[in-house]
Structure 1
Amino acid sequence: GTLQGLFQTSGSVGRMLAPVITSFLYTAFGPQAPWLLDVALILVIIVSWLIFRKKMVPLETRMVPRISSSKEEKC
């Protein structure tokens, strides 16, 4: 639903902006700047995961009974 749409939108925006931002950083500050940005973003992700890991909920799947047709039963 809504969250999936938000995730899709943020992924698409990221794929559009990342090449522009990293190209600007590379031309303005050299090859080290995009790598520093990547490291900073990865650190933010790791810290966020460590903070919110206790709130993560395990995936629960429901068994859906299989409805067989009469053709399958005759075989």
Structure 2
Amino acid sequence: YRLFIIPGMSHCQGGAAATSFGQSLDAPAVHQDREHDVRLALEAWVERGIAPAALKSEAGTKRTVIRPLR
């Protein structure tokens, strides 16, 4: 089991952090790959055994924030 915490994120989406990483239709992933989309990351982990090391998320600006998953 793993617990993924996103500092600054409100419940499910929004907040002060970069929180758009494909978790809902209102918060689509920046790119459609497992580094940016949490659904694709989970599919790769469950179906192919490739666990995510980090997820890249977007805050609605041109910046990308990378947070390591621990």
Q: Give the number of the structure with larger relative contact order, counting CA–CA contacts within 8 Å between residues 6 or more apart.
A: 2
Larger radius of gyration: 1
Q: Give the structure with the higher percent helix.
A: 1
Q: Give the structure with the higher percent strand.
A: 2
Q: Same fold (TM over 0.5)?
A: no
TM-score (norm. length: structure 1): 0.28
